[in-house]
């Protein structure tokens, strides 16, 4: 048996060390792969990024941090239909979870940022989100002695720039994976990890065609698909999707397929947040994407399967932020 279990405080890691056994073969045949734990990390950079992720001084108001809308206490989301931004601006789209976001082919619903680093700069300078500019955010950080020292340790420079800031935030976000869900335990060979109704839900998920888009380790995040394939999706949302990036009419209402990892925690669903529950989301997906009307029993089983995708949430000490100095530009909330 090439499988071993390491138990540490509060956390059990199941690691497959070979591919030659019956267990590994069964896992290799599945269209969903386990989330890999973080293996290579620049710890000092990730720690700096964690502080920045939690620091509302990256916003004009001094009130909104990355964690405000990608709350790591709540599945890396804000659990709102669309987000609240600077001066209570109503955002145009649902905040996607930051959990496992490093596994996506690109960032934002329309994929307009190629990676986490590029994404991290977006909200800071968006007038309706953090309402700041990169220049002013960097000025604030440069005035904080604790950040200057930590930045120099990580990047070797006394001069903070937005490139380093977003690099550090992305390094932290890359640690936000959620291994060891019950589904992954099952994939890794623990056949007792799932109940029969959950396995039946997974079978339905595959047979019905959900798996065509929701596959891979993130169970999504790997392609853009049109919202409303079989029948149009009715929404008040003005979000156009991928066409805003490509300029192609054929890409209208195409959105990045969201990850279903931790979907139990990332309600409400869809780019407009209009599906309040997983039952509703499965129903709409069946009808509009697959032309299938699931029975309540079928939906219940699929939802039972989806809830097995909740992994271990990132566990870390709440960061303590370095204080501003007398020369730090003060926030302008009102």
Stretch that binds its own copies, among 134-142, 203-211, 243-251, 311-319 (CB under 8 A): 311-319
Q: Is 144 helix (H, G, I), strand (E, B) or coil?
A: coil
Cβ distance 94 to 245 under 8 Å? no
Task: Show the binding pattern over residues 150-189: x = contacts its own copies (CB under 8 A), - = does not.
Answer: ----------------------------------------
The residue (of 173 and 251) whose beta carbon lies closer to its own copies is 173
Out of 37, 92, 122, 333, the residue judged to bind its own copies by CB under 8 A: 333
Distance separating the N- and C-terminal Cα atoms of the chain: 63
Q: Which of 190, 31, 14, 33 is nearest to 100 (CA)?
A: 33
Residue 12 lies near its own copies (rule: CB under 8 A): no
Q: How many CB atoms lie within 10 A of CB 52?
A: 28
Out of 34, 66, 70, 78, the residue judged to bind its own copies by CB under 8 A: 78
Q: What does each C-alpha distance from 25 to 28, 135, 145 come to in angstroms?
A: 5, 52, 54
Q: Is 251 helix (H, G, I), strand (E, B) or coil?
A: helix
| Contact positions with its own copies (CB under 8 A) in 220-279 | 264-265, 267-268, 276-279
Of the residues 30, 118, 129, 174, which is catalytic?
129
Tell me the pairing of strands 84-85 and 254-256: unpaired
Task: Report in angstroms how near the CB of residue 45 gets to its own copies at its nearest.
Answer: 19
Q: What does each C-alpha distance from 24 to 93, 140, 149, 183, 196 come to in angstroms?
A: 40, 51, 47, 15, 21
72 DSSP 8-state letter = T
Q: How many CB atoms lie within 10 A of CB 277?
A: 13
The residue (of 23 and 54) whose beta carbon lies closer to its own copies is 54
Residue 6 lies near its own copies (rule: CB under 8 A): no
Out of 90, 153, 157, 295, the residue judged to bind its own copies by CB under 8 A: 90
Q: State yes or no: is 129 an active-site residue.
A: yes
| Contact positions with its own copies (CB under 8 A) in 45-64 | 54-57, 61-63
Q: Which of 267, 214, 269, 271 is nearest to 240 (CA)?
A: 271
Stretch that binds its own copies, among 37-45, 140-148, 206-214, 317-325 (CB under 8 A): 317-325
Give the residue numbers marked as catalytic: 129
- The site for its own copies (CB under 8 A) is made up of 54-57, 61-63, 68, 71-75, 78-80, 84, 87-88, 90, 264-265, 267-268, 276-279, 313, 315-321, 323-324, 326, 330-331, 333-334
């Amino acid at each position: 048996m090439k499988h071993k279990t390491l138990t540490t405080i509060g956390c059990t890691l199941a690691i497959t060390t070979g591919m030659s056994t019956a267990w590994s073969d069964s896992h290799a045949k599945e269209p969903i792969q386990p989330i890999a734990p973080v293996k290579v990390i620049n710890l000092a950079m990730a720690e700096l990024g964690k502080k920045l992720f939690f620091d509302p001084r990256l916003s004009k108001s001094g009130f909104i941090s990355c964690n405000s809308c990608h709350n790591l206490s709540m599945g890396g989301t804000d659990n709102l239909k669309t987000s609240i931004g600077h001066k209570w601006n109503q955002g145009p789209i649902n905040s996607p979870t930051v959990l496992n976001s490093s596994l996506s082919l690109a960032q934002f619903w329309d994929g307009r940022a190629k990676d986490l680093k590029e994404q991290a700069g977006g909200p800071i300078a968006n007038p309706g989100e953090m309402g700041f500019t990169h220049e002013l955010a960097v000025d604030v950080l440069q005035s904080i002695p604790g950040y200057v020292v930590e930045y120099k340790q990580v990047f070797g420079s006394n001069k903070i720039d937005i490139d380093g800031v977003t690099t550090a935030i992305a390094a932290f976000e890359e640690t936000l994976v959620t291994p060891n869900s019950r589904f992954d335990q099952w994939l890794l060979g623990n056949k007792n990890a799932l109940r029969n109704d959950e396995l039946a839900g997974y079978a339905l998920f595959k047979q019905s065609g959900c798996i065509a888009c929701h596959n891979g380790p993130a169970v999504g995040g790997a392609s853009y698909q049109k919202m409303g394939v079989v029948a149009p999706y009715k929404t008040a949302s003005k979000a156009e999707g991928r066409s805003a990036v490509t300029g192609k009419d054929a890409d209208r209402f195409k959105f990045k397929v969201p990850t279903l990892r931790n979907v139990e925690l990332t309600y409400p669903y869809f780019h407009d947040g209009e599906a309040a529950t997983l039952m509703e989301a499965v129903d709409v997906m069946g009808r509009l994407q697959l032309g299938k009307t699931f029975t309540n029993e079928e939906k219940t089983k699929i939802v039972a399967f989806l809830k097995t995708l909740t992994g271990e949430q990132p566990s870390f000490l709440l960061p303590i932020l370095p204080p501003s100095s007398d020369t730090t530009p003060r926030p302008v909330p009102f």
